[in-house]
A and B are shown apart, each in its own frame.
Chain A
Amino acid sequence: MTGDALKGQEIFQATMHEAALRAAQGELPKDRLWLFRDARGRCLEASESEMQAEEVEMEEHEIAAWAPKQIAQLEPGQLAIWIAGAPEPQRSALALFYLDHFNHEDLLALIELKPAEFSKYIANGRQQFQSWLNASFPHEPA
């Protein structure tokens, strides 16, 4: 979400601190996704205070059969930076979708998107990422 491990850790600790305080006061919210909602909110706040990337229309390519090989050449940090650079709410949609932690209903509830919007952000994100992969690691047919 932030593209920065240190910032991510700070947000994580702040969220856990908030949770511990609330628990001590017996005020933990009933919302079972509260922890993630809070963490996401803090990520958004943190990125708002930063310099914003200029919005550019990204090219979209069809998902290629060789995409897994291209992805395997990446470092986790590169992927994190790519996702963190996506505009909201696409960034949240991609980050939480690929975390493999939530089911579809939870994702929609967490990001507060309609199914069609969520689907569009994921599908477009995939194709934009494929386009970036094609530019960064061109496929060479054997």
Chain B
Amino acid sequence: MKMPSLSRRQRMLVLCAPFNEQRITDRAMRAAVFRVKKADEFSHQQFFDRAVADLIEKTPMPPEVAEWFTKETTVAPPKRTWKTIATNPAIVAIGIAVVVIATVFAFRLMERMSDFPGADTARKLLTTASSSRPIMLDPIKTDAGALGDLFFMKHRLNHYDVPPEFADLKTLGCRVFDDEEGHRVAQIWVVEKRLQFFLFPAERNPKSGEVREFSDWRYVEQEGWTGVVKQKNGVCFMAALRGRERELTPYLSKAKP
């Protein structure tokens, strides 16, 4: 078999590869030798080296020297240093895996820590927002703040009010639908920045039936969409848009007293 093409370093390693496989402790050399193992040129080299080593073995040694010169006692095994342990591919692979798992775990933990009651519903509604088209909504051109009365009068939805921060924005349309759990959800589409508003019932304690309160505005993200949620009177309001948190922040800073 012909010699396979080797890099300069591999060629160098093959040329001085020990003829005794037990002496190959270097990973790079083992890989280089593995590549050329079946090549005629390398076989000739190995047979040559073994023949020379056999001849050396036959060198007569005085008995007083022979009793001292044993392979087991003259060279201590090399110490395993931190460097050799750290560069071991198995250790490196384990290290990378641990870092990835820790990162995912930390990410999930941070996500959970910043969660609020109703965050799961908010995320589902962000998915709804991403797939909504204006044609799906009933056209209505008014201030968003005025729709609270409509929801109450037409759909008997109490406290489905748009907070003052977003109340002045002009609407394109709205609709009321039931989500997967049968909760009544109001959706409003506004002109500015293709913002969408959602009003949905706040999460309740299944045992006591009490609303799980949370204070101030909370952000939630899902597949490139960001929402900012506030709860009042047992109803959550969410303003959602395709983009980042910083695009929603200016609306919150102009809060009215």
Contacts and interface: CB of A to CB of B under 8 A. Distances in A.
A80 interface: yes
B68 interface: yes
Contacts of B54: 71
A53 B16 CA distance: 26
Interface residues on A, range: 35 or more
Given A9-B65, A98-B56, A67 B23 contact: no
B59 A80 contact: yes
Ranked 8 nearest A-B pairs via Cβ: A68-B51, A71-B51, A119-B16, A123-B15, A76-B59, A32-B76, A119-B12, A122-B16
Nearest to A110: B75
Given A63-B48, A122-B15, A130-B48, A103 B55 contact: no
Interface string B35-64: 000001100110111111111101110100
B78 interface: yes
Contacts, number: 105
A72 interface: yes
Given A32-B78, A104-B29, A115-B13, A67 B18 contact: no
Contacts of B131: none
Contacts of B208: none
Contacts of B166: none
Contacts of A65: 40, 44, 47
Interface of A: 5, 9, 12, 16, 32-33, 35-36, 63-65, 67-68, 71-72, 74, 76-77, 79-80, 97-106, 115-116, 118-120, 122-123, 126, 129-130
A104 B21 CA distance: 11
A138 B19 CA distance: 25
B112 interface: no
B253 interface: no
A99 B56 contact: yes
Interface string B98-110: 0000000000000
Contacts of A123: 15-16
B133 interface: no
Interface string B57-98: 011101001001101001110100000000000000000000
Contacts of B59: 76-77, 80
A105 B71 contact: no
A79 B23 contact: no
A129 B51 CA distance: 12
B238 to A, nearest CB: 64
